[in-house]
Amino acid sequence: MRTRTSRATAAGERYGTLRRRALAVVALLLLAQSVSLLRPAYACGCGGMVPADGTTIGVRDETSVVRWDGRTEEIVMRLTVDGDASEAAWIMPVPDRADVGLGDRELFGELTAVTAPARETRRYFWPRSGDWPLDGEDGVTAGAPEGAAPEVDVVGRERLGPFDVARLAATDSGALDAWLRDNGFRLPDRLAAELEPYVERKWEYVAVRLAPEEDGAGDGAPRQALGGALDPLRITFAADRPVYPMRLSRAARTPQSLRLYVLAPHRMEPADPIGGERPEVLFAGRLTAAELSEHDRLRELVDAEEVFLTAVAQEFPRPERIDGDHELRRAGADTPYRTVVYDDELLRWGGVPAWLVTVLAGAAVLLAAVTTALLLRGRAVRGREFEEDPARTVARRYAEDSPPRP
């Protein structure tokens, strides 16, 4: 009896130990999950974005327009953000000294209208789900500073709407990182290391701090959280070939999406997927002077008689695989393209489903053919009987046709 009791006690202790370990593992997993949920996304499709300590921000949508005329490139960028941060910062490398200003929100509405998919009706014959009788209802379905210049040169700094913008040149990535931190532009450690290739190539930088004006300035009122579509930012610089900086997005912790509208003399395309999915062409076509005249913001941006517009979308499910910037090159031909959205519709004749008319007509033809065959067969049988015994056949037919006697 004592042996059984000791065994039961030991088993209970082992069960209790296993239970405590399991609970500890579950607690650690929940803690790790909560930490991952609080961790902000450090990058958008254009560069590194970092919110203030203890807050979160994420880029829900990024759409950019790239205009290139063979000598000058202009990028108009619009970010749509979510989160509880009242301020955040990001940095965008550029190959030459840049001018920065605010863009026009209406430009993106005009581009959306110009590149809207064509809608076509595609009719099908046999009924589908939602069509009678399946469901019982109808359905239609520049160079860096020389000599004894400082390691970080502040080319300019200005306030543009919600943006605090600094234009910088640097000869040392560590000094650039220190200047950004000292002036309120925070960058994660791993993103700062990504600046080194740009420093080696003597690129310059546009550092942007998103900080809306304080509500009730001076009374200690909190700043409004960043959210929704921000004012577009316009960046212009000299470029002998168009490029869209993407390398810094390697630091992103969440999948990235990018949509580019490229305005150039010819159809353009990314030279390489740079670690993302294959770029998808949404639209390609030459805009004439007449078409540009219908869109004021687009005409002002282009400032030419005509231009070729290419719209490209790309997904980056694993941003850590991004291995460079998007270099845009001329496509092999200026082939026009527009996405087509099909509205499938049941084929009808005179308001009646075509399949039903066909089935009924086929049934009628089949019935007529069977009736005709039976009639012909009866005549053939009677013909053979007459040939074999004419007198008997005549007598039988006479009897069949005569009225019955009372």
Q: Is the peptide bond before 133 cis (omega within 30 degrees of 0)?
A: yes
Tokens at residue 267, please? 């159809």
226 domain residue, yes or no = yes
Q: How many CB atoms lie within 10 A of CB 88?
A: 25
Write out pLDDT tens, residues 144-167.
444 445 688 999 999 988 788 999
311 and 197 together in one domain: yes
DSSP state letters, 334-387: ---EE-EEEEEEE-EETTEEHHHHHHHHHHHHHHHHHHHHHHHHHHHHHHHHHH
406 domain residue, yes or no = no
122 and 174 together in one domain: yes
304 and 324 together in one domain: yes
Write out pLDDT tens, residues 80-106.
776 666 677 788 899 999 999 999 999
By CB neighbour count within 10 A (0-12 exposed, 13-18 middle, 19+ buried), where does 299 fall? Answer: middle
pTM: 0.70
What domain count does the chain have?
Answer: 3
Write out pLDDT tens, residues 202-256.
999 999 887 666 444 444 445 555 666 778 999 999 999 999 999 888 877 778 8
122 and 243 together in one domain: yes
Query: Distance between the two ends of the chain, CA-based, in angstroms?
Result: 113
178 and 289 together in one domain: yes
User: What is each CA distance from 136 to 36, 128, 147, 168, 281, in whole angstroms?
Assistant: 49, 11, 83, 68, 40
> 152-160 and 72-83: which strand pairing?
unpaired
368 and 239 together in one domain: no
User: What is each CA distance from 57 to 48, 92, 129, 229, in whole angstroms?
Assistant: 12, 18, 43, 13
Domain around 355: 350-401
Where does the pLDDT of residue 338 fall: very low under 50, low under 70, confident under 90, or very high at 90 and above? very high
384 and 281 together in one domain: no
34 and 105 together in one domain: no
15 and 161 together in one domain: no
